[in-house]
Amino acid sequence: MLHVVLVEPEIPPNTGNIARLCLAAGARLHLVEPLGFSLDEKSLRRAGMDYWEQCDVKVWPSFAALQAQNDDARFFFLTTKTTRPYWGQSFADGDYLVFGRETKGLPESLLRENADRCLTIPMQPNARSLNLATSAGIVLYEALRQIR
In sequence order, the β-bridge partners of residue 120 are 85
- Between CA 11 and CA 146 the distance in angstroms is 30
- Supply the pLDDT for residue 49: 58
- Between CA 62 and CA 2 the distance in angstroms is 20
In tens digits, the chain (148 residues) has pLDDT values of: 999 999 999 998 899 899 999 999 999 999 999 999 888 766 666 655 567 778 899 999 999 999 999 999 999 999 999 999 999 999 999 999 999 999 999 999 999 999 999 999 999 999 888 999 999 999 999 999 999 9
- Supply the pLDDT for residue 39: 80
- Supply the pLDDT for residue 12: 87
- Between CA 56 and CA 51 the distance in angstroms is 10
* Residue range 3-147, CATH number: 3.40.1280.10
Q: How many CA atoms lie within 13 A of 39 on its CB side?
A: 14
Reported as a single tens digit per residue, the pLDDT across 12-46 is: 889 989 999 999 999 999 999 999 988 876 666 66
- Supply the pLDDT for residue 44: 62
- Supply the pLDDT for residue 87: 97
